[in-house]
Amino acid sequence: MNHKVLPNVTVVDHPLIQHKLTIMRDKETSIAGFRRLLREIAHLLCYEVTRDLELEMIPIETPMQQMEAPTIKGKKLVFASILRAGNGLLEGMLDLVPAARVAHIGIYRDHETLQPVEYYFKAPSNLEDRLVIVVDPMLATANSATAAIDKLKERGANKIRFLCLLAAPEGVERFTHAHPDVPIFTAAIDDHLNDKGYIVPGLGDAGDRMYGTK
Ligand code: PRP
Ligand code: URA
């Protein structure tokens, strides 16, 4: 069963997610395996983060007769990927919601200061009318996610959810303080951040493990 550690934080602890996450954490897992697993987990997380979307009935005609059938209400969703590693989750999300709009937010954290450095931002228009789901596998200090959401809010987004794979308790605290209106969905909350800002036990550097850039 999923559980809420705080009112706004859902840990999606489906056995398939937990099993796949364990393989991802293993330092012996290959780059190809890591990428495939992240995409598979994204499918399962996408299912949860969209579970309560509102439906509306539309008339259609089946080969047998007319009927009123449910469809997702409102404008297309926006998936906002924090580059680079967010793209690993994004691909899996788009497998399930191929018509979603996509925002790309280029942010990396300075390795010394752990402060976010922004280098790219491109988002669809009408953010104020859409649900925006921000994706990034790692919520460590939360500096990157907080900056990304600041930017989306500046551009009008007002219904936002944040989806990650792993979070540090320190990051969850900072994030919920900075953006109490943004629910977090994560597969796990780990033990702590180390003095270099890495999640422990974690899985290492997600971008490097996805793209082989160490
Ligand atoms: C990683 C990760 C998050 C960020 C999390 O990206 O994908 O964006 O770190 O850390 P924070 O919560 O302390 O900000 P990174 O900065 O390594 O950039 P990359 O994806 O380009 O490698
Ligand atoms: N970013 C990562 O990729 N891994 C961590 O553990 C922390 C930040």
125 contacts 76 by C-beta, under 8 angstroms = no
Q: Where do the domains of the chain lie, and which CATH numbers do they carry?
A: 2-51+75-211 (3.40.50.2020)
33 contacts 66 by C-beta, under 8 angstroms = no
Cα–Cα distance for residue pair 155/172, rounded to 1 Å? 24
Q: Probe ligand 1: pick from 35, 83, 109, max atoms within 8 Å of CB?
A: 109
pTM value > 0.95: yes
Determine the pLDDT at residue 2. 79
What's the gap in Å between 85 CA and the centre of ligand 2?
Answer: 10
Query: Which residues in the chain show pLDDT less than 70?
Result: 1
In short, whether 107's Cβ falls inside 6 Å of ligand 2 is no
Determine the pLDDT at residue 6. 80
Catalytic residue among 13, 129, 155, 208: 208
Q: Which residues are annotated as a binding site for 5-phospho-alpha-D-ribose 1-diphosphate?
A: 84, 109, 136-144, 205
Determine the pLDDT at residue 4. 80
Cα–Cα distance for residue pair 210/213, rounded to 1 Å? 8
Determine the pLDDT at residue 1. 59
User: Alpha carbon of 112 to those of 108, 193, 194, 195: distances in Å?
Assistant: 12, 15, 13, 11
Atom of ligand 1 at shortest distance to CA of 211? 22
Determine the pLDDT at residue 53. 97
What's the gap in Å between 23 CA and the centre of ligand 1?
Answer: 20
Determine the pLDDT at residue 28. 98
Determine the pLDDT at residue 72. 96
Using N-to-C axis directions, what is the helix angle for 31-49 and 15-25, rounded to 10°?
150
Catalytic residue among 51, 95, 110, 113: 113
Cα–Cα distance for residue pair 91/98, rounded to 1 Å? 9
10 an active-site residue? no
What's the gap in Å between 62 CA and the centre of ligand 2?
Answer: 49
